[in-house]
Amino acid sequence: MTIARVALPVAVDKLFDYWVPAGLDLAAGAVVRVRLGGRRLAGVVHALADDSDVAREALQPIDEVAGLPALADDVRDLAGFVASYYQSSLGLAYALAMPPLAHGAGPRERPGGVRLSDAGREALPRSLARAPAQRALLARMASSPTGGLTADEVRALPKASRRVLARWRREGWLVAGAHRAEPVAPRLNDAQRRAADAIVGSRGAFAPLLLQGVTGSGKTEVYLAAAASFVADGGQVLLLVPEINLTPQLTSRVADALPRARTVTLHSALPDGARRANWEAAARGEADIVLGTRLAVFAPLPRLALVVVDEEHDTSFKQHDGVRYHARDAAVWRARRRGVPVVLGSATPSLESYAHADAGRYRRLVLAQRADPRAAFPEVRLVPARGPLVRDGLSDALLAAIGERLRRGEQSLVFVNRRGFAPSLKCPACGWQAGCPRCSARLTAHRAPSALLCHHCGHRERVPAACPSCGNVDLAARGHGTQRLEAALAQAFPQARIARVDRDSTRSARAFDDVRERVRDNAIDLLIGTQMLAKGHDFPRLTLVGVLGADNALYSADFRATERTAALLMQVAGRAGRADLPGEVVVQTDFPGHPLFAAVVRHDYDALARDVLAEREAAGLPPFAHLALLTAEAHRREDVDRFCEAAHARAAAAARQHRAVEVFPPVPAALARRAGYERAQMLLRSRQRNELKAVLDALRTALADAGTRRVRHAIDVDPQSLA
Ligand code: ADP
Ligand code: ZN
Ligand code: ZN
């Protein structure tokens, strides 16, 4: 009898045996449905065997094989690496590689462009007799050399025309893709050409390349030129981008540069049916380009020839719960396993990648100039964040700069990394502050609707009319969130058309798209927003960016805060203005002499990277040491403390065999209580990855055996933050 050893998406790190009914065609990697306990689960056949340790009568059969291509060896190896390196079960790692099993609506991709279908050619001229605007649109398409409209042309249309196109599409009068023989892409400049040649020249073997190019240097064009060459050779290209960057803009740039390639996207916002269809197109080798976020690193790609990770420094590549893998690192692992080049691109590379390039492990390709030679970098000015010239959190200098933009009919953007009205509500008489009953955190005051909200657990309560402690009715809102700045700016510039972008105002991707649309249509003068707005925008008339709260990074307990803020400021600075409308960036800070700001003013990421790397080396922090963090939480402090003490004893014992590993004593988490859970953490550090792994393996086994229901715990390998 054949036994299938199945990996199931459960935390227990073991394989489950099932017998294979006669006639069921099964190979390793097959996705199957089975029963476990009372549940039906989908899992992956890890291996087939002739016998099982489980008694014959106790074995259950495989219920069903999903009608999907089996997971290929390299994908299963990748899942195996991820499970082992990130201390997860094999089944949970395999689950990342499985597509959604539900068939649903087919792909609902946004097309690169559109052209008339035969039905449309037939029906449209007759049905549009009394609609001159639509007739004009039709005439334009009918006479176009591409037989329709390219993605760029569609984007340039007024909104009403795009709505018409959407309706025609629903009627079946249009189909995706304008016929275009030749790709539309700029001719690469010398630096871009050298970079693209280096990538193409690395074909057929593992080669990690760090493409370090200032914002606007044309990195995307380099990826696309290289991708075109690999695709022309019959290869598949995996292009990973951060969550926020997966905009129709990028999709259509790919379509424009590779008009004949088939591109599919894979990301979590895609409906299940579309994700499954795209996954299958990749697995069958029909898709030439797979463009996706974090989870696409597991996409099946039989002809994989090149991996690209765009904005490789972006923190959204690291998963923060479940299997805590880093998609960039997984991408490099996979490229090595497949023997293909991998390109990591960024204007502000992660210090990990930066150090690899310094050490010669990665080949560094530099684009030092902007692609458009007339496009100067915006001027960055540092102005005080506090003092007599600051009102409502806004400095005079920033207000003056905004006023100037309004007079010139240009747009401004003000960043602040706090949503809500004010980060705290305080009684000036007795010092009382509104706190969350379930977290060790303050409540944020919100307006419209007015409420006190906890940003950690979602707790919501009414704003008290008077201080609950002393009865004082003059409670003071402290600090500035997006809502408060919006109010202050509306008062300062009553004539300005203002939009706020944060999680409260812009919940859905659609709402976000809508704001971007209005900015592009020049229906907005002033944008106020959180980090949500920092990345991936491209607004030609936006010439001023103001940054508030940048000093928070300097107070942060998080060792990556400086690096992250530098990356953010440089990305922001790189996007203000264009050749014909130079940009300006105004950063409010009380520490203008700090190397972070000095580097931003000079647009010199290398200086900052070297500086921070030296600090990290002295402090024994990544990339010079490897970290792992055990986090634990329980309703009662004594449970979590006892759990951590036991974990510490176990890890310390293991570290006696692995002397390169330091095990730090457990401490309360920076947010010691969250949503009613008491939280603690324990840090492990080593210069030797394999020694650290050995200790973590021992620790995880011990914790699984100790198995207490009262304490939830997780091991985070290469944590992004220790706070
Ligand atoms: P990055 O990804 O490095 O930020 P992009 O690839 O988005 O840069 O390019 C920035 C802008 O410069 C885009 O508008 C792009 O079309 C343009 N561009 C890129 N390469 C060239 C080139 N060789 N000649 C002219 N324009 C270019
Ligand atoms: Zn009081
Ligand atoms: Zn809370």
Ligand that comes closest to the CA of residue 187: 1
Q: How far is the CA of 429 from the centre of ligand 2 (A)?
A: 5
Which one is predicted more confidently, 708 or 627?
627
Cα(103) to centroid of ligand 3, in Å? Answer: 38
Tens of pLDDT, residues 194-210: 999 999 999 999 999 99
Measured in Å, residue 433 CA sits from the centre of ligand 3 at 14
Tell me which ligand sits closest to the C-alpha of residue 427. 2
Task: Give residue 220 CA to ligand 1 midpoint distance, Å.
Answer: 7
- Which stretch of 112-116, 283-287, 328-332 has the lowest confidence by average pLDDT? 112-116
Question: Using one digit for the tens of pLDDT, what is the confidence trace for 635-648?
Answer: 999 999 999 999 99
Residue 290 has pLDDT above 80, yes or no: yes
| CA nearest ligand 1 atom 24, residue | 186
Ligand lying nearest the CA atom of residue 439: 3
Confidence of residue 428 (pLDDT cuts 50, 70, 90): very high
Q: How far is the CA of 335 from the centre of ligand 1 (A)?
A: 26
Q: Give the tens place of pLDDT for each residue, 378-427.
A: 999 999 999 988 988 999 999 999 999 999 999 999 999 899 999 999 99
- Look at 172-186, 190-204, 684-698 and tell me which has the smallest mean pLDDT: 172-186
**Is 215 near ligand 1, meaning CB less than 6 Å away?**
yes
Q: Give residue 189 CA to ligand 1 midpoint distance, Å.
A: 10
Residue 109's pLDDT band, with cuts at 50, 70 and 90, is: very low
- CA angle at 518 for the pair 585 and 375, rounded to the nearest 5°: 35
Atom index in ligand 1 nearest the CA of residue 574 equals: 4
- State whether the Cα torsion 184-186-190-193 is positive or negative: negative
Rounded to the nearest whole angstrom, what is the distance from the C-alpha of residue 421 to the centroid of ligand 1? 38
Atom of ligand 1 nearest to the CA of 213: 3
Residue predicted with more confidence, 581 or 440:
440
Mean pLDDT over the full length of the chain: 91
In the reported structure, the alpha carbon of residue 330 is separated from the centroid of ligand 1 by a whole-number distance in angstroms of: 28
Point out the ligand nearest to the CA of residue 440: 3
* Closest ligand (CA of 468): 2
Pick 140 or 180 by higher pLDDT.
Answer: 140
Can you point out the beta strands (E) in 320-417? 341-346, 363-367, 379-383, 390-391, 394-395, 411-416
Reply yes or no on whether the pLDDT at 294 is more than 50.
yes
Q: Out of 80-84, 212-216, 485-489, which region has the weakest mean confidence (pLDDT)?
A: 212-216
- Which residues, including other chains, have CB under 8 Å from residue 631's CB and lie 6 or more apart? 669, 679, 680, 681, 713, 714, 716
Query: From CA 152, how far away is CA 159, in angstroms rounded?
Result: 14
Residue found by looking up tokens 């988490």 in the block: 669
Judged by its nearest atom, the ligand closest to the C-alpha of residue 473 is 2
- Residues 313-319: contacts with CB within 8 Å, 24+ apart? 313/346, 313/348, 313/349, 313/350, 313/353, 313/567, 314/242, 314/245, 314/535, 315/564, 315/720, 316/242, 316/243, 316/244, 317/240, 317/242, 318/718, 318/720, 319/294
The residue nearest atom 5 of ligand 1, judged by CA position, is 218
528-563 per-position pLDDT tens digit:
998 877 766 678 899 999 999 999 888 887 889 989
Q: CA nearest 293: which of 269, 322, 257? A: 269
pLDDT at 606: 96
Residue nearest to atom 9 of ligand 1 (CA): 218
Considering every ligand atom shown, identify the ligand nearest to the alpha carbon of residue 436 and give its number: 3
* pLDDT score for 575: 77
DSSP characters over 636-688: SHHHHHHHHHHHHHHHHHHHHH-TTEEEPPPEEEEEEEETTEEEEEEEEEES-
State the distance from the centre of ligand 2 to the C-alpha of 474, rounded, in angstroms: 9
- Atom index in ligand 1 nearest the CA of residue 217 equals 3
CA 306 / ligand 1 centre spacing (Å): 21
Q: Is 700 in the pocket of ligand 1 (CB under 6 A)?
A: no
CA dist., res. 701 & res. 697, Å (int)? 6
What pLDDT sits at residue 335?
Answer: 98
Q: Does ligand 1 have an atom closer than 6 angstroms to the CB of 479?
A: no
Compute the average pLDDT of residues 359-364. 98
Point out the ligand 1 atom lying closest to the alpha carbon of residue 188: 23
CB 475 within 8 A of CB 421: no
Cross-strand pairs, 548? 416
Q: Does 105 have pLDDT greater than 90?
A: no
Ligand 1 contact, 234 CB (< 6 A): no
What are 347-358's pLDDT values in tens digits? 999 999 999 999
For the Cβ of 220 lying below 6 angstroms from any atom of ligand 1, the answer is yes
Residue 631 φ then ψ, to 5°: -115, 145
Is 661 in contact with 692 (CB distance < 8 Å)?
yes
Ligand 1 within 6 A of CB of 13: no
Identify the band that residue 157 occupies on the pLDDT scale cut at 50, 70 and 90. Answer: confident
* 74 within ligand 1 shell (Cβ under 6 A): no
Kindly report, residue by residue over 597-651, the tens digit of the pLDDT. 999 999 999 999 999 999 999 999 999 999 999 999 999 999 999 999 999 999 9
Write the CB contacts of 369 (distance below 8 Å, at least 6 apart in sequence): 189, 191, 214, 217
Q: Whose CA is nearest to atom 19 of ligand 1?
A: 218
Token pair for residue 236?
A: 């598949």
Alpha carbon distance 685, 699 (integer Å) = 14
- Sorted by sequence, the CB contacts under 8 Å of residue 702 that are 6+ apart come out as 646, 647, 650
> Model pTM?
0.88
Query: Bridge-partner residues for 683, per DSSP?
Result: 629
| Centroid of ligand 1 to alpha carbon of 371 (angstroms) | 5
Best mutation site among 155, 194, 220, 312 for ligand 1, i.e. most ligand atoms within 8 A of its Cβ?
220
> Whose alpha carbon is nearest atom 27 of ligand 1?
371
Q: How far is CA 197 from CA 33, 189, 212, 365, 385, in A?
A: 46, 12, 15, 11, 46
pLDDT tens for 297-333 read 999 999 999 999 999 999 999 999 999 999 999 999 9
| Cβ of 536 below 6 Å from ligand 1 | no
Specify the pLDDT at position 112: 60
**Quick check: 579 pLDDT over 80?**
no
Query: Ligand 1 pocket, 475 CB below 6 A?
Result: no
Q: How far is the CA of 713 from the centre of ligand 1 (A)?
A: 45
Please name the residue whose Cα sits nearest to atom 15 of ligand 1: 218
Cβ neighbours of 193 (radius 10 Å): 13
* Residue among 221, 311, 312, 365 to mutate when testing ligand 1 (max atoms within 8 A of CB): 221
Beta carbon of 213 within 6 Å of any ligand 1 atom: yes
Q: Is the CB of 515 under 6 A from ligand 1?
A: no
For residue 254, give the ligand nearest its CA: 1
Statement: residue 697 has pLDDT above 50: yes
Domains defined along the chain, listed by start:
3-96 (3.40.1440.60), 114-176 (no CATH), 190-367 (3.40.50.300), 379-422+479-615 (3.40.50.300), 626-717 (3.30.70.360)
CA of 467 to the centre of ligand 3 (A): 20
State how far Cα 60 lies from the chain centre.
40
Instruction: Name the nearest CA neighbour of 123 among 138, 145, 103.
Output: 138
Give the pair of three-digit tokens for residue 576.
């203000």
Nearest to 585 by CA among 381, 348, 347: 381
Predicted confidence (pLDDT) per residue in 40-52, tens digit: 999 999 999 998 9
Handedness of CA 586, 591, 592, 594 (dihedral sign): negative
Across-strand partners of 677?
Answer: 674
Q: Is 371 in the pocket of ligand 1 (CB under 6 A)?
A: yes
Distance CA 350, CA 627 (A): 16
What whole-number percentage of the chain has pLDDT above 90? Answer: 69
Question: Which residue's CA is minimally distant from atom 14 of ligand 1?
Answer: 216
